[in-house]
Structure 1
């Protein structure tokens, strides 16, 4: 066997294997049944066409027969009037029409024979279709039962493709769950160590609080200016706010002194002297 022959044999074998796996017996049976029904419909259409043609010829034959009778009457009337020439012409036309009638009768007979043969084939094909339909339904029922039994057996033994897919899905779900749990723990650890704070911004907590203090001071200053412009007792309010601020500052200093670290307070005092 040559290389090309071997290659062709392998390709045909692979294709045949793929087609066998893809083929659904139920679909194949249904398709064959529909094909037979289409053939039956074509035979019925052929019978209808033949019958139509036969009826058309029969109508034409009846008209010719009416003409033959008419020419008979014409010939009799011509004889009564001693017009042999007209009588002869009428008889000639009668003969011509009778010849046409004979031809039509032969054609009608042929069509009738063809129609009878098609009717026999139609009846035979219809009988075959009914027999095939019964066998088709029986085979489909057996196939469905065997397929269901196979699925149950595979599910019980875990050997089926669907069970393998379920097992792989469970494994993937467990892997992703473990990954998410590990990531959540990593985020918590980074949050606790302050790594996120340093990574997301160059400022630390002290810088942010100082910036907030400056922003609050600017807002209070602008608010005082607005009150002064509106003449709503800015001086009294300013004094009151100053007193409260002094009191709060004193309280804050007292609290700070109570809790402050001596080394930090010393360094803070040096910073104040530099300012």
Structure 2
């Protein structure tokens, strides 16, 4: 094989691969179906033209038949009147007309055969077009379903670019949430330790919080001492409600015996 032939084959192979990537089989099927439909239309147009020509010859034949009968009648009438000369003229014209009838009869017979042949071809081609249309739609539906299945499978398998973008967005969102939670925890610790001042707090709020904590501890210690001096953990605590009922909460935190 020469270098030119080898290069030609390589280029043809690459072109074929390129067409496979760009060519949609559904478009190819629609184009093929369109070609068949156009062929069927041409056959039907030819059939109509042949049928028109046959009808025209048929009408001419009917006119000739009418004239042939008239000439026969005229020859008989001429003989009845003893006019052999007129009868001869009528018969001569009738014989000439019979030759013309024979000619157009041959044409009419040929057109009849042609019409029958075109009708048979039109019928077979119409059946082929109908069958191709059904097969075309079936193949297109199968291809569309397979194409959709491929896209779904690629998406579920993470092969598709859209799913990759979704996964990357989800990873970024998780990282941002983790960073924000860590920052919130860190700032809480800094605020609690006093390392980070609360700009919205009132002046000396840190002292107030410290004194409140001391007061709370003192209250707890006092109640523990009261329980110890009473000698039982079930002893009545200061600020505990003295009775049950919907208004019992009003005595929480008050002096013992208060209502």
**Pair in the same fold by TM > 0.5:** yes
The 1:23/1:167 distance shift into structure 2, 3 A limit, reads farther
Question: Match of 1:38?
Answer: 38
Alignment deviations for residues 132-191 of structure 1 (CA, whole Å, 9 cap, x no partner) = 1111111111100110011112223343366678999xxxxxxxxxxxxxxxxxxxxxxx
Shift of the 128–48 alpha-carbon distance from structure 1 to 2, 3 Å rule, reads same
* 1:17 counterpart residue number: 17
Deviation at 1:79, TM superposition (A): 1.7
- Give the SS at the match of 2:140: helix
Distance 2:43 2:129 in 1: 13
In structure 1, the gaps of 5 or more residues are 169-275
Alignment of 1:59-70 (within 5 A): 59-70=59-70
2:26 is matched with 26
Asked if the contact 1:54/1:108 (under 8 Å) is kept, the reply is yes
CA distance in 1, matches of 2:39, 2:7: 39
Residue 91 of structure 1: CA displacement?
A: 0.2
Taking only aligned residues, the RMSD between alpha carbons, in angstroms, comes to 2.4
Alignment of 1:71-90 (within 5 A): 71-90=71-90
Q: Distance in 2 between matches of 1:3 and 1:82?
A: 98
Paired with 1:166 and 1:20, the residues of 2 have a C-alpha distance of 30
| CA apart distance, 1:36 | 1.1
The C-alpha deviation readout for 1:175-232, integer Å capped at 9, x for no partner, is: xxxxxxxxxxxxxxxxxxxxxxxxxxxxxxxxxxxxxxxxxxxxxxxxxxxxxxxxxx
TM-score between both structures, scaled by the size of structure 2: 0.60
Q: Provide closer, same or farther for how the CA distance between residues 8 and 59 of structure 1 changes in structure 2, counting only shifts above 3 A.
A: same
SS in 1 for 2:82: coil
Alignment of 1:1-275 (within 5 A): 1-160=1-160
Matched residues in 1 for 2:51 and 2:9: separation? Answer: 52
Q: Distance in 1 between matches of 2:164 and 2:97?
A: 85
Which structure ranks higher in relative contact order (CA pairs < 8 Å, sequence separation ≥ 6)?
1
Q: 8 Å contact 1:65–1:97 — kept in the other structure? A: no
TM-score, normalising length: structure 1: 0.57
Number of aligned residues: 170
User: Does the 8 Å CA contact 1:72/1:90 hold for their aligned counterparts?
Assistant: yes
Q: CA distance change for structure 1 residues 167 and 100 in 2, over 3 Å: closer, same or farther?
A: farther
Structure 1 CA distance for aligned equivalents of residues 133 and 64 of structure 2: 49
Instruction: Could you list the structure 1 runs, at least 4 aligned residues long, displaced by more than 4 angstroms after superposition.
Output: 161-168
Q: Measure the CA separation in 1 of the matches of 2:135 and 2:102.
A: 50
Measured after TM superposition, the shift of residue 88 of structure 1 is 0.5
Q: Which structure is higher in helix share? A: 1
Change (3 A) 1:164 1:5: farther
